[in-house]
Structure 1
């Protein structure tokens, strides 16, 4: 806590860039009021790299807790949600893992936040992108420099915890570091909060990129489709993002497509064409080619003129300007189809996935006897309420007794049938028979069972709620991008209860929570 009583935490999602160690080390060496804690969310897919560094505070300094959480590779929106939800401070400052903090950043952050009107829900820092010395910036460098004028970018953005709670944080359907911050700002302001700009500054160096980076980033057009679905046709104005070039990309793609189609038809009809149709098609192909060259050339000119105009840069701008329009249109169409029925965040639950042992029925270790099945109090009535609400039901259960040779698969099936007789039917059973040493993709806390159940039920993982009695159930939900409710038993560890985002004392009250989410 700062001397004036301001409490804040710092959350950094990371994909393991070397810069994250320097960022945290620089944060711990600040002279200003330090955060309550720093939360690093390692968003690399599990098993892809070693552990993140844990910088130590300089000798004689008050230690600041640095917590490292696993993020499962779902993108920065999900990683930031995981990070801020484990904190308790009034403010949460989000930083990118490749920014550089100047001396005095903590003091400047405190000055920005202290004394803000209670109606202010967020404060943005100022982002400085270093320019190259002695030459004009490249296209990629200019794109990165756009962060300097971006609104509410989470490279340095502090939100009041109450504002994050009011809108349930970031929309995790944004899988990239793109538009997720703009969407959050729109929802926070619609919830009645104000956003302001502070005076603190971070430096954001330009990351090294290959020559195809401008084509790859067109994947963001799928996220633009989600923004339009969520915020309407005027979403760019609402989100303060600028206009974009999609109409020109559509025109260019249409011109290229018509050129190829007309040329192919002309070639196919030329050998037997007494009517002169092939000549008309050739003229159409020529007109399309002329339009294509003009449109691609205009895009290339707009990108080349402000740049260094080296041979390599000009060549890169030429071929990528031809590739960008169809790639952008493809991703926009893909995003439109994927998000055509997207509802406001968070999506209302459509399915509930329940752990078996300890959640639906009393836990009997490695049970292979149907007669030993005993449902927990109120299980049948609780599930009947979910069915009456139209929710789909599934069970996700680790059964390592099979892998250990203590159970036969048919015994597991017989116990599952007894469970259904006791609590009523469910639409899918997903069982992992492996032991932990097998390293399978299905065993909780991995996401495999949740993904399989969601697919079997015809819903997205984000539309599922996992209800279980131990931390592995909560972690499996988190790994899959689903919500969770922990219902502790006498064997649930205290640290699992403390780490769970939502806890209910029993199954009926867990169902109360789920039905409340359904009502919005």
Structure 2
């Protein structure tokens, strides 16, 4: 890949930190090929004064994402660009002086490579040992697939639906995407471009607040199984030790309220266990550090608070994921006209394709959760001579361009009197889609706007959800209420499939 042909965009989510200016200036001074566009995503919850951006020669655009977190901000950014590659940078990193030049070689990779991570360096003080917080930040240098500097092929982001927006913090959303990308059969590699990640200032209780990420660990376990840590290059963590420490502390506190020798004995034993576990944790954190008075005080206090905080957030995360933990469908199949796009009778003109509101977001939810999606559509206009198969292919291609890729696409081009087994309400389209995806029809969901969609799903043994439109007959809605399900929108239907609310 030559520098002139490197087609990439840069996406930077930000909450307006001053470090953003240093990043943009560093990116601007490089002499390598410039990005097609730099999208700065303003993720501040409330509209404020415009971001203070330095003057550069970079083609820079600013968009807002409404304070929904870095995962949503990155999605907002990459969906606005058309470049072959999207490079995500955090707003507190500084690209090296040869970053753009090195990117050319980094992205000159085989087609099976979907992503390339930059080489992260964390500057640490040379005059003393690093603090616990500084060592934690230094761990980013060895972390896998972090979006401090991570490039992805845009087509793979589209295939996977981008980042899972349930991750509201800057934590685990990058690892989740990496695992989903690798599940599609693609590889991820590390490049040679250098990016510096300075250590941010941290308050006294920063390490305690960071325990909120344990709620996101619950999502990772639910989505990727119990060995997800190993798959992203991490050790086993301290969840079990934190749980043992918390249980010992609670037991000691409760037993101390009881009367009698047995309660006192229990309280003393539990307190001894709590003290031993807490001392081990504190010692592990203090030993490598500078051992200055302020750092010692921070380590002692936070070592007491971290175990119960970690357990609380993990339980909170497990509760939330359990409430949303109904079994996902093996695949979701959609009718096309008046379900995915506004109906234009016998449409053969791609210019008339208009997606229905909220459909793209619903499809991306399914892609993020790894649920295969497909289209099952009657297109008798071909048999009637009102459009050609080339016209149909062009319209379907435009639907894919606007709504993203589908895993299977099944159309019936026959007329009502042709006696085929595929035209809905016959089950053929549903059965063919399931066979193409390699899943049982009975584990699929069909979402459509007519009684024929419901009947086809029922005949194939699939679950049916009717999303009524103006052309849906009242009796079709009544029948669906008795034999299937009815949802007001495609978004609501998909949320129901995934056990969530819209």
TM-score, length basis structure 2: 0.68
For residues 36-435 of structure 1, what are the structure 2 equivalents within 5 Å? 36-47=36-47, 49-58=48-57, 64-114=58-108, 116-266=109-259, 278-340=260-322, 341-342=324-325, 382=449, 390-391=464-465
Partner deviation per Cα, 1:203-225 (whole Å, 9 max, x = no partner): 11111110101001101111111
**DSSP-derived class of the 1:124 partner:** strand
CA–CA distance in structure 2, aligned partners of residues 292 and 41 of structure 1: 45
Give me the whole-angstrom Cα distance separating, in 2, the residues matched to 1:461 and 1:56: 47
CA apart distance, 1:460? 7.6
Q: Distance in 2 between matches of 1:331 and 1:209?
A: 20
Alpha-carbon deviations, 1:398-425, whole Å to 9, x = none? Answer: xxxxxxxxxxxxxxxxxx9xx9979969
SS at match of 2:63: strand
Q: Measure how far apart 1:295 and its partner are.
A: 0.6
Conserved 8 A contact 1:349-1:391: no
2 CA distance for matches of 1:50 and 1:347? 46
Residue by residue over 1:465-490, the C-alpha shift from the partner in whole angstroms, topping out at 9 and shown as x without a partner, is xxxxxxxxxxxxxxx9x7xxxxxxxx
**More displaced, 142-151 or 76-85?**
76-85
Shift of 1:136: 1.1
Unaligned stretches of 5+ residues in structure 1: 59-63, 267-277, 361-380, 396-415, 431-449, 465-479, 483-520
Gaps spanning 5+ residues in structure 2: where? 344-447, 458-462
- Look up the SS of the partner of 1:251 in the other structure: helix
Secondary structure class of the residue paired with 1:50: coil
Cα deviation 1:224-246 (Å, max 9, x = unaligned): 11111111111111222222100
Work out whether residues 44 and 72 of structure 1, in 8 Å CA contact, stay in contact via their aligned partners in 2: yes
SS in 1 for 2:278: helix
Preserved CA contact (<8 Å) 1:347 1:463:
no
Give, in whole Å, the separation in 1 of the partners of 2:219 and 2:117: 24
Q: Residues of 1 paired with 2:9 and 2:65: CA distance?
A: 18
Instruction: Give distance in 2, aligned partners of 1:149 and 1:30.
Output: 25
Question: 1:133 offset after TM fit, Å?
Answer: 3.1
Residues 1:80 and 1:392: Cα distance change in structure 2 (over 3 Å) = farther
Contact (CA 8 Å) 2:449, 2:468: kept in 1 or not? no
Q: Is the 8 A contact 2:96 2:193 kept in 1?
A: no
Cα distance in structure 2, aligned partners of 1:208 and 1:293: 30
| CA pair 82-385 structure 1, distance change in 2 beyond 3 A | farther
How large is the Cα RMSD of the aligned pairs? Answer: 3.7
Give the distance between the partners of 2:95 and 2:59, measured in 1 at CA.
18
Aligned residues: 385
Q: How far is 1:6 from its partner?
A: 1.3
SS, match of residue 126 in structure 2: coil
Contact 2:466 2:487 in 1 (8 A): no
SS of residue paired to 1:265: coil
Q: Is the Cα–Cα contact under 8 Å of residues 12 and 97 in structure 1 kept in the other structure? A: yes
Q: Relative to 1, partners in 2 of residues 1:22 and 1:383: Cα closer, same or farther, differing over 3 Å?
A: farther
Separation in 1, partners of 2:494, 2:31: 53
